[in-house]
Amino acid sequence: MVDKKIAVIGLGYVGLPLAVAFSKKFKVVGFDLNQARIHELEKGIDSTLEVANDTLSSVVGNLSYSNNIKNTKDCNIYIVTVPTPIDKANRPDLIPLINASKNVGTVLNKNDIVIYESTVYPGATEDVCVPELEKSSGMKFNKDFFCGYSPERVNPGDKINTLEKIKKITSGSTKETAIKIDNLYQTIISAGTYQATSIKVAEAAKVIENTQRDLNIALVNELSVICQKLELDTLEVLEAAGSKWNFLPFRPGLVGGHCIGVDPYYLTHAAEQVKYNPTLILAGRRINDNMSFYVVKKVIQKMILNGIDIKKSTVGVLGITFKENCPDVRNSKIADIVYELKNWGAKVAVVDPWVNKNELQDIYDIKLGKIDKKDQVDSLIVAVGHDQFRAKSPQELRSLCKGLSPILADVKSIYNKEDLEAQGFTVFRL
């Protein structure tokens, strides 16, 4: 395949940086069903903030955008980067992936390669996606077209560990295809590649990476609950334990986003399909999924002890994206905090300088509010470590609160506890 032309299917946090990286070497068509997304990219604007506007401008000649799959028909490599969420029962939702496969199948030509980057459970590429490609193309897998799997390792908002600097796992449906795919990614990945022995191995590696992180965070989250009951400060305990050379430096927190809070459910789904009950992984998920409600419980308890009338109070929430310095609100556990506070009868004011207010309202039906010296709140939950919040002094935080005994929940342990207490805050942190 001498003359490569690449189609990237899905232009979100994963697809756009990939399309931009490849467009520095090849002709690329970026496909997305969202017409508004296509329009903003054609104007050189990326609302996800993953790609700088000047970078988009620099690849205009090699990168085009379309919401019509027929405009990718002259491509010979298709890379699918659509989201793979979970449903309300925490089961894999493969509908976007299936629809993308059907679409790609309609434009496949002989000897084309389809590479999947979307997170799936082991076996999904060949058992779910390939049949859709065969049906809509009328061609036979590994005879007329070929597939690969190269899991994304994007860290939204991270300007240091970017796509090119993270080692890439690659795989292919035949030995020859695996080599072609590995060589393709080596053209853009300066950190190098790791060629897995099969598509299924690459799929499993992806979900295991994030399951491991999820379990480690669940451990320290449970430790946080225990420390509270023992009247110990979790951070002090972790810092002491961290003096040992091989202690892993995980911190308690809310686990959201499109990877760590989702991928373990893909792995447990695969386990259950082969009649195995993944006890430990699901236990970790239960702990992490419940931490938002635990935070609210502790804040409400402290507000009551301080004589604050919950139903007449307003609680300020600083940050609602799933992580710091990033506009991504997918699977944000802070939304659960907002809902739970409202269930207790409190008013809630949410402030986040990074979030797209329309997206927030569309996904969660939550409106941004105002918190300042004129619009004070009774207590504060600093839920996300955005730079704007880290820069606030204890005095500035106190000026946002009325009353004599406000609560400050420092979920990410950003501030010095003693300095907060000196301003009159009753402090809670995980």
Catalytic residue numbers? 259
Provide the residue type at 315 as one letter. Answer: V
| C-alpha to C-alpha distances, 380 to 254, 371, 428, nearest whole angstrom | 17, 10, 10
| Alpha helices, DSSP H, located in 274-402 | 279-289, 291-305, 334-343, 357-364, 387-390, 394-399
The DSSP bridge pattern shows strands 407-410 and 426-428 to be: parallel
Distance CA 90, CA 289 (A): 11
Cβ-based neighbour number of residue 139 at 10 Å: 17
Picking from 296, 343, 317, the residue whose alpha carbon sits closest to that of residue 400 is 317
Helix then strand then coil, in percent of the chain rounded to 5, is: 40, 15, 45
Picking from 107, 26, 41, the residue whose alpha carbon sits closest to that of residue 69 is 107
Residue with tokens 């399309």: 19
Pair 298, 429: CB distance under 8 Å: no
Distance CA 111, CA 295 (A): 54
* Ramachandran angles phi, psi of 381, nearest 5°: -120, 110
Distance CA 136, CA 292 (A): 43
DSSP-derived letter for residue 153 is -
Q: How many helices (H) and strands (E) does the chain have?
A: 17, 13
Q: Is 172 helix (H, G, I), strand (E, B) or coil?
A: strand
Pair 149, 203: CB distance under 8 Å: yes
Q: Is 397 helix (H, G, I), strand (E, B) or coil?
A: helix
